[in-house]
Amino acid sequence: MSMKKFSGFTIIELMFTLAVAAALLVVAVPAFMNIVQNNRVTAQANSFLTAVTLARSEAIKRRDTVNVVADSGTASWREGWEVQDSGGTTLRVFEEMDPVVTFTSTGGNIQFSFGRDGRLTTGADTLQLRIAAAKCDPGMPYTGRNILISQTGNARVERTDQVCP
């Protein structure tokens, strides 16, 4: 009689493989969630920087004041923002922010303007707006963004590496 040779996995091999896969998932999932959250923060910062750049260029092109205004219904950057000309006509609307992102500004500004020369018309030397993760895992690092707008109208984004409290 000849014996048939079976090929395949034993139950022990299968259980060991599943245990290793579960351990990898426990480590990988939180790190992946932080990557997703950091990408959302970056996307919102880029969207706001687009609005700032548009407002400044329109102010120079039109030789008139152009405003960046928080959502008029809630007076909060959280719900979105608009670029408006000096007469209040909306030039472009930017959608509300991702729910996992928070947005704050120095002095609680809900509007700022660029003059006909492209300069920021607020009294501050630099206007700062901060975008960060609204929720994070305690002790885990995440990256926020500061948007800095100088008196000359130039805007830049700064990374801020932080640890969630």
| Distance separating alpha carbons of residues 103 and 93, to the nearest angstrom | 17
Q: Which domain holds residue 16?
A: 11-163
How is the beta sheet containing 111-114 ordered, strand by strand? 90-94, 76-85, 66-71, 111-114
Residue 6 covered by a domain: no
Is this structure's pTM higher than 0.85? no
Residue 43 covered by a domain: yes
Other Cβ atoms closer than 10 A to 163: 10
CA atoms in the 13 A half-sphere facing the CB of 142: 27
Residue 46 covered by a domain: yes
Residue 5 covered by a domain: no
Mean pLDDT over each residue of the chain, to the nearest integer: 83
Please name the helix (run of DSSP H) or strand (run of DSSP E) that holds residue 36, with its range, or none: helix 11-62
pLDDT tens readout for residues 72-128: 666 678 788 899 999 989 999 998 777 667 777 777 778 889 999 999 987 667 888
Residue 163 has pLDDT above 80, yes or no: no
Residue 1 has pLDDT above 60, yes or no: no
pLDDT tens readout for residues 137-151: 667 677 788 889 999
Residue 2 covered by a domain: no
Number of domain units in the chain: 1
What's the CATH number where 90 sits?
A: 3.55.40.10
Are 43 and 145 a contacting pair, CB within 8 Å? no
Say which residue, 102 or 155, is predicted with more confidence: 155
3-state SS assignment for residue 143:
strand
